[in-house]
């Protein structure tokens, strides 16, 4: 569910790194939002052109497809930062202390393993479409207007690299909490009960946060 | 030892995939079931990523169309140039074969770890449309047409707007007025349902076609035992023959389909076609050759090869 | 080892990780990735020298999936629908709707509750998400009901149940997601949701009126509005009607050719609501907030989509969906019995899982089986088990599972809508809301039974469009 959980802050290096990464993540998420907003105008423009001026927009589908990775993936780290990616927290919501941190640490490390692999794989996908010996460095082009696809493919490893950095910070945060037996560690989204989460969700909708 | 290949195609089983199915059948037969092919319709990859899948080694065989991603396969787009004058599927097979054997084509495909095995010959992409039949070039102005590759360029040259919704979306795009006309081969008009939306079909516009090769992963091909490789190689022609026979049957039924669906068969006047050809064929071809030569590819040579192979095939 | 065995082990492992609390999107992606490596290495007969080759291939296959899968025009519908919902809030359409519903229909027994149901149904027409709808109306409708002496728990139950309508009545993010997984026409699915959504609203309303006649503390009718007051309440709610009409006409125009695609209809709807929000005083700060919220929800949904599709890619190589549908069609049971069992399984699963995650994880395997049960993708109505063609069966099943998933939003223990309503109201506990929503289980049970027994309720509108 959308709605941010609490991420505590203090003056430690970890927390400072967390707050350094946050503006970048937020900027990426805003890019996603702006891309969605542009999508709306693009469709209005295209329909108006088609219906009223008999001049449909050339390459409409190509541009939308090129924008989709920005919309869908750019903000992935921002969402991970505050724990918005959904999960079933029946079990974790009853865990406390070190056991909870251990679970969270394992979970984050596994996600890190996946994302590092995907960053590599997504980079390879970009790399296959990129060759600067060619016009516009393009080795893969869109179907209608032939625009290069590599910029859109590059979005993915870029976003995943930021997510990897975020996951490393969270792993350190949970690891530290596990070792020191902390109750309220910084730089990680704190587990909320479903009810607490719902309350935050409702408040965020009412624009009160 | 047993060999199992994964083959990535898309859509559903149709005339366009019959040679792949036949190939799988023949290879298995010839090797007593030791070499099998598992043909997957979209389960292994998206169609536009099939060449990537081959390059990675995700599967061993795949089908794709040149127009989906011109920059991935510049050389074979010569076969998608408008108004090449190909008249039937046999000629289409012949010109494809000639181009596929050209070093520039094999080399470009080798960059994707792919070896061109055979083409998926398709008849000329004629239009189906809604509303009034479009019979002159001025009718094409502002027409929203679903057409890819060189055919799309040809229509653009006379003022139409190519809009490449995917084949599966073509029906809805037509229904929703996103496109007024769809350029497909006959089997696709049938299997994607565009014929059900249509009120007319151009019988003789013949602007060109798309080229959709079947490729194999080079490593997988080379690691086949001699016996299995022989079984594969020797089945290609037979599979193509099966494809042609099957398609001929479909074309034989085409007129009755038109009658049944109450679709008008539009004959475009010769002078209109000549005008279209003059506006689209020559400039697009010249542009293509210039573009290829600028990139260090033998554009002129490839085009001449097509012309020659076609002339030979017509003899 | 057989690929299918690997498929089963990996799927089981994934479910364990999901239950242990791993983020659903990543659990699925990881399962898919590990499964691809395992399958490939299995193909190499576990040759240690070729392990890294297996990893490399799998990394590349998994790594191209996110870009490949999200780069589809039809998926742009999801962010547009989410945007509509957030803009509608800033356009203050919720208050306007509730006010109009109150003035027009609150005179019936249980009046305010009935008005709430119809206002949520109306808001559903601009909102793609159930939980958001419940949260918004908990603020607006519950105080008014309490003022005229409603039972607190019942008032909360009405809002929690009314919220579920948002996912059936178009626009609906979850129906779009269903359409994409099963590769069916989005427009037809959205059309198909319309009547069952409105139908559900009427079943709720009838239930409320019945309860109000039987029990005194349900709430009295609220009358006394003049016709003038009634008509005055309409204009502020009018954009909703415009948006509904536009989206429907883009997908299906009863008087001629449809106007375009569902995506375009959604975008025009969003644009209208955006203008309305501007008029009602939204400026850059609020817009930025709405865009960030839209982006967050969008990214969250897309992460599940590409994560699950990595898993689905693996399933394709493991041939599990084919095996499952062979097994289902081989069962010695009537197809309808099997279908009902599948729906009941969803009801159980839905008690513990989020609707989108649940559908994405299960449909790649379950959907082909249901289609096979009916006689295949291409079957004609005459030859089919359920008396409908392949594409129609896809639509019908989609509406059934989405209604099922919505039902799970109000069932204990994880009925999210109930938590949201309790979260908004300090004076209500989750137990209160669950108590208040209980009568609506019956209503939903009846609705689902009717949708199964009379598929025409679902299929009439989409069949007109084809
Ligand atoms: Na809705
Ligand atoms: Na539930």
Residues B24-79 have pLDDT tens digits of 999 999 999 999 999 998 889 999 999 999 999 999 999 999 988 999 999 999 99
Token pair for B209: 């076609």
Token pair for A122: 């997504």
Which is nearest to C79 in space by CA: A146, A2, A6? A2
**B165 near A60, Cβ under 8 Å?**
no
Q: Which residues share a beta bridge with A138?
A: A130
Contact flag B71-A141 (C-beta cutoff 8 Å): yes
In C58-177, beta strands by DSSP E: none
User: In this structure, what DSSP letter does residue A209 have?
Assistant: -
Q: Does A98 touch chain B (CB under 8 A)?
A: no
DSSP readout, A72-94?
HHTTHHHHHHTT-S----TTTTT
| Min distance B173 CA to chain C CA atoms (Å) | 7
| Ligand 2 centroid from CA C392, angstroms | 28
Q: What is the pLDDT of residue C186?
A: 80
Distance CA C410, CA C407 (A): 6
**C440 near C161, Cβ under 8 Å?**
yes
Token pair for B295: 């990139």
Which is nearest to B123 in space by CA: B189, B61, B75? B189
Whether omega before C413 lies within 30 degrees of 0, making that bond cis, reads yes
Which is nearest to C152 in space by CA: C426, C422, C421, C432? C432
Helix H or strand E encompassing A126: helix A97-128
Q: Three-class SS of residue A24?
A: helix
Q: What is the pLDDT of residue A169?
A: 97
Using a CB-CB cut-off of 8 Å, the residues of chain C touching B179 are: none
Q: Which ligand is nearest to the CA of C123?
A: 1
In C384-433, beta strands by DSSP E: none
Q: What is the pLDDT of residue A208?
A: 39
Distance CA C390, CA A171 (A): 48
Distance CA A198, CA A4 (A): 10
Task: Give me the total of CB pairs closer than 8 Å, taking one residue from chain A and one from chain B.
Answer: 54
Nearest CB partner across the interface for B71, out of A57, A62, A138: A138
Nearest CB partner across the interface for A128, out of B52, B68, B294: B52
Domain boundaries, chain A: 9-204
Nearest CB partner across the interface for B49, out of C64, C260, C319: C64
The whole-model pTM stands at: 0.89
- Maximum pairwise Cα distance, chain A: 68
DSSP readout, C211-245?
HHHH-GGG--------HHHHHHTHHHHHHHHHHHH
Distance CA C96, CA C94 (A): 5
Count of other CB atoms within 10 angstroms of residue C181: 19
Q: How far is CA B58 from CA C40, C49, C354, in A?
A: 9, 18, 32
The answer for residues whose C-beta is within 8 angstroms of residue B205's C-beta and 6 or more apart is: B124, B126, B127, B268, B273, B276
**B73 near A129, Cβ under 8 Å?**
no
Helix H or strand E encompassing B260: helix B226-261
Distance CA C367, CA C394 (A): 8
Contact flag C135-A201 (C-beta cutoff 8 Å): yes
Q: What is the pLDDT of residue A1?
A: 34
The answer for residues whose C-beta is within 8 angstroms of residue A45's C-beta and 6 or more apart is: A57
User: In this structure, what DSSP letter does residue C333 have?
Assistant: S
Long-range contacts at C252-255 (CB < 8 A, ≥ 24 apart): C252/C187, C252/C191, C252/C461, C252/C464, C252/C465, C254/C464
Nearest CB partner across the interface for B163, out of A135, A142, A144: A144
Using a CB-CB cut-off of 8 Å, the residues of chain A touching B162 are: 58, 144
Helix H or strand E encompassing B117: strand B114-119
Token pair for B246: 């099957």
Phi-psi region of C407 (alpha: psi -120 to 50; beta: other; left: phi over 0): alpha
How far is CA C351 from its chain centroid?
A: 15
- Maximum pairwise Cα distance, chain B: 62
Burial C96-131 (b: 16+ CB within 10 A, else e): bbbbbbbbbbbebbbbbbbbbbbbbbbbbbbbbbbb
How far is CA C178 from its chain centroid?
A: 9
Distance CA C271, CA A46 (A): 13
Q: Which residue has the tokens 């949701």?
A: C193
Distance CA B210, CA C170 (A): 38
Q: Does B177 touch chain C (CB under 8 A)?
A: yes
Contact flag A202-C420 (C-beta cutoff 8 Å): yes
Contact flag A144-B148 (C-beta cutoff 8 Å): yes
Within 13 Å, how many C-alpha atoms sit on residue C444's CB side?
Answer: 26
Q: How far is CA C138 from CA A20, C160, C419, C420, in A?
A: 37, 8, 11, 8
Within 13 Å, how many C-alpha atoms sit on residue C340's CB side?
Answer: 12
Using a CB-CB cut-off of 8 Å, the residues of chain C touching B44 are: 313, 316-317
Distance CA C29, CA C314 (A): 10
Using a CB-CB cut-off of 8 Å, the residues of chain C touching B40 are: 316
User: Searching chain C, which residue's CA lies closest to the CA of residue B13?
Assistant: C378
Quickly list H helices, C125-172: 130-147, 152-163
| Min distance C134 CA to chain A CA atoms (Å) | 9
**B145 near B174, Cβ under 8 Å?**
no
**C126 near C88, Cβ under 8 Å?**
yes
End-to-end CA distance of chain C: 46
| Ligand 1 centroid from CA C248, angstroms | 12
Q: Which ligand is nearest to the CA of C88?
A: 1
Touching C (3+ Cβ pairs <8 A), the chains are A, B
Token pair for B34: 């030791």
Which is nearest to A111 in space by CA: A27, A174, A192? A174
| Min distance B175 CA to chain C CA atoms (Å) | 6
Token pair for C296: 């967050």
Q: What is the pLDDT of residue A194?
A: 56
* Residue ranges with CB less than 5 Å from ion ligand 2: C 351, 408, 411, 414-415
Q: Which residue has the tokens 């449809």?
A: C258
**C314 near C35, Cβ under 8 Å?**
yes
Which is nearest to C388 in space by CA: C376, C401, C404, C400? C376
Token pair for C107: 């005179």
Please classify residue C4 by burial: count the beta carbons closer than 10 Å to its beta carbon, then call 0-12 exposed, 13-18 middle and 19+ buried. Answer: middle
Q: How far is CA B6 from CA B236, C59, C359, C369, in A?
A: 17, 18, 28, 22
Domain boundaries, chain C: 73-298
Which is nearest to C65 in space by CA: C339, C282, C307, C352? C307
pLDDT single digits (tens) B159-205: 998 887 777 678 877 877 778 899 999 988 988 889 988 999 999 99
Q: Is the pLDDT of residue B96 over 70?
A: yes
Distance CA C36, CA B140 (A): 49
In this prediction, the residues of chain A whose per-residue pLDDT falls under 70 are 1-5, 54-56, 89, 191-209
Q: Which ligand is nearest to the CA of C126?
A: 1
Q: Three-class SS of residue B165?
A: coil
In this prediction, the residues of chain C whose per-residue pLDDT falls under 50 are none
Distance CA C405, CA C174 (A): 10
Q: How far is CA C203 from CA C102, C165, C168, C219, C285, in A?
A: 18, 12, 14, 18, 41
Q: Does B245 touch chain C (CB under 8 A)?
A: no
Question: How do B126-129 and B3-9 pair as beta strands?
Answer: unpaired
User: Searching chain A, which residue's CA lies closest to the CA of residue B169?
Assistant: A61
Using a CB-CB cut-off of 8 Å, the residues of chain C touching B46 are: 68-69
Mutate which: A31, A41, A43, A124, vs C, most C CBs within 10 A: A43
Contact flag A56-B161 (C-beta cutoff 8 Å): yes
Q: What is the pLDDT of residue A5?
A: 59
Contact flag C61-B46 (C-beta cutoff 8 Å): no
ipTM value = 0.91
């Amino acid at each position: 569910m959308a709605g941010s959980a609490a991420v505590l802050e203090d003056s430690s290096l970890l927390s400072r790194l967390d707050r350094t990464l946050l503006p970048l993540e937020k900027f990426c998420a805003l890019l996603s939002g702006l891309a969605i907003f542009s999508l709306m105008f693009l469709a209005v423009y295209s329909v108006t052109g088609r219906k009223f001026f008999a001049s449909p927009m050339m390459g409409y589908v190509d541009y939308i497809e090129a924008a989709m990775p920005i919309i869908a993936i750019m903000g992935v780290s921002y969402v991970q930062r505050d724990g918005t990616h959904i999960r079933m927290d029946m079990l974790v919501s009853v865990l406390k202390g070190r056991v909870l941190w251990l679970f969270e640490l394992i979970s984050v490390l596994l996600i890190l393993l996946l994302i590092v692999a995907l960053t590599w794989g997504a980079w390879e996908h970009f790399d296959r479409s990129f060759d600067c010996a060619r016009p516009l460095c393009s080795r893969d082009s869109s179907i209608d207007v032939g625009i290069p696809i590599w910029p859109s493919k590059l979005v993915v490893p870029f976003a995943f690299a930021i997510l990897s950095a975020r996951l490393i910070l969270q792993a350190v945060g949970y690891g530290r909490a596990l070792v020191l037996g902390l109750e309220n560690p910084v730089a990680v989204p704190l587990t909320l009960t479903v009810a607490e989460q719902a309350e935050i969700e409702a408040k965020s909708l009412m624009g009160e946060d | 030892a047993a060999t199992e290949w994964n083959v990535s195609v898309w859509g559903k089983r149709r005339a366009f995939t019959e040679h792949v199915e036949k190939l799988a059948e023949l290879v298995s037969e010839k090797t007593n079931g030791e070499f099998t092919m598992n043909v997957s319709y979209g389960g292994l990859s998206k169609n536009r990523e099939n060449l990537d899948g081959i390059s990675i080694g995700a599967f061993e065989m795949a089908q794709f169309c040149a127009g989906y991603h011109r920059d991935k396969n510049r050389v074979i787009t010569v076969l998608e140039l408008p108004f090449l004058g190909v008249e039937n599927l046999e000629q289409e097979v012949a010109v494809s074969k000639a181009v596929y054997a050209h070093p520039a084509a094999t080399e470009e495909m080798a960059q994707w770890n792919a070896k061109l095995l055979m083409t998926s010959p398709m008849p000329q992409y004629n239009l189906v449309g809604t509303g009034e039949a479009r019979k002159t070039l001025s009718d094409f102005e502002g027409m929203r047409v679903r057409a890819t590759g060189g055919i799309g360029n040809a229509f653009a040259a006379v003022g139409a707007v190519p809009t490449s919704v995917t084949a599966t979306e073509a029906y809805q795009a037509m229904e929703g007025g996103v496109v007024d006309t769809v350029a497909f081969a006959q089997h696709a008009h049938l299997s994607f349902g565009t014929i059900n939306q249509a009120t007319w079909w151009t019988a003789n516009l013949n602007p060109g076609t798309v080229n959709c090769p079947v490729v194999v992963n080079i490593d997988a091909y080379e690691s086949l035992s001699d016996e299995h490789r022989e079984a594969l190689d020797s089945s290609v022609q037979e599979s193509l023959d099966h494809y042609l026979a099957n398609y001929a049957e479909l074309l034989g039924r085409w007129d009755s389909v038109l009658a049944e669906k109450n679709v008008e068969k539009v004959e475009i006047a010769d002078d209109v076609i000549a005008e279209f050809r003059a506006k689209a064929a020559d400039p697009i071809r010249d542009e293509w050759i210039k573009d290829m030569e600028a990139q260090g590819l033998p554009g002129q040579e490839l085009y001449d090869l097509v012309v020659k192979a076609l002339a030979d095939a017509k003899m | 080892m057989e690929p299918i065995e690997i498929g089963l082990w990996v799927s089981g492992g994934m479910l364990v990780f999901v239950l242990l609390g791993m983020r659903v999107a990543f659990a699925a992606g990881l399962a898919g990735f590990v499964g691809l490596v395992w399958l490939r290495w299995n193909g190499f007969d576990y040759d240690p020298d070729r392990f890294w080759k297996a990893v490399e291939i799998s990394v590349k296959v998994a790594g191209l999936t996110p870009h490949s899968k999200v780069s589809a025009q039809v998926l742009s519908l999801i962010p547009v629908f989410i945007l509509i919902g957030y803009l509608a809030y800033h356009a203050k359409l919720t208050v306007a709707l509730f006010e109009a519903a109150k003035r027009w229909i609150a005179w019936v027994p249980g009046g305010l509750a009935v008005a709430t149901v119809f206002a949520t149904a109306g808001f559903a027409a601009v909102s793609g998400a159930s939980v958001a709808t419940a949260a918004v109306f908990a603020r607006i409708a519950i105080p008014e009901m309490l003022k005229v002496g409603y039972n607190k728990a019942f008032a909360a139950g009405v809002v929690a149940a009314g919220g579920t309508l948002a996912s059936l009545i178009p626009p609906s993010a979850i129906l779009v997601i269903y359409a994409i997984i099963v590769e069916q026409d989005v427009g037809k699915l959205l059309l198909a949701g319309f009547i069952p959504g409105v139908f559900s609203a009427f079943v709720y309303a009838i239930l409320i009126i019945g309860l109000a006649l039987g029990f005194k503390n349900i709430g009295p009718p609220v009358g006394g509005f003049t016709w003038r007051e009634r008509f005055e309440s309409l204009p502020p709610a009018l954009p909703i009607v415009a948006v509904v009409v536009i989206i429907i006409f883009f997908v299906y125009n009863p008087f001629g050719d449809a106007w375009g695609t569902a995506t375009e209809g959604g975008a025009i709807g969003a644009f209208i609501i955006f203008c309305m929000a501007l008029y009602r005083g939204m400026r850059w700060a609020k817009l930025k907030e709405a865009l960030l919220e839209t982006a967050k929800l969008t990214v969250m949904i897309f992460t599940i989509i590409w994560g699950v599709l990595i898993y689905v890619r693996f399933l394709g190589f493991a041939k599990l969906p084919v095996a499952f549908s062979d097994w289902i069609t081989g069962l010695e049971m009537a197809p309808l019995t099997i279908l009902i069992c599948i729906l009941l399984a969803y009801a159980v699963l839905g008690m513990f899982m989020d609707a989108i995650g649940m559908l994405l994880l299960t449909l790649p395997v379950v959907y082909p089986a249901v289609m096979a049960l009916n006689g295949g993708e291409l079957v004609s109505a005459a030859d089919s088990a359920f008396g409908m063609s392949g594409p129609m069966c896809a639509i019908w099943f989609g509406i059934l599972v989405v209604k099922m998933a919505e039902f799970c939003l109000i069932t204990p223990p994880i009925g999210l809508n109930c938590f949201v309503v309790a979260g908004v109201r300090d004076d209500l506990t989750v137990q209160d809301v669950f108590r208040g929503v209980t009568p609506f289980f019956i209503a939903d049970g009846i609705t689902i039974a009717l949708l199964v027994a009379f598929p025409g309720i679902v299929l009439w509108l989409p069949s007109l469009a084809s």
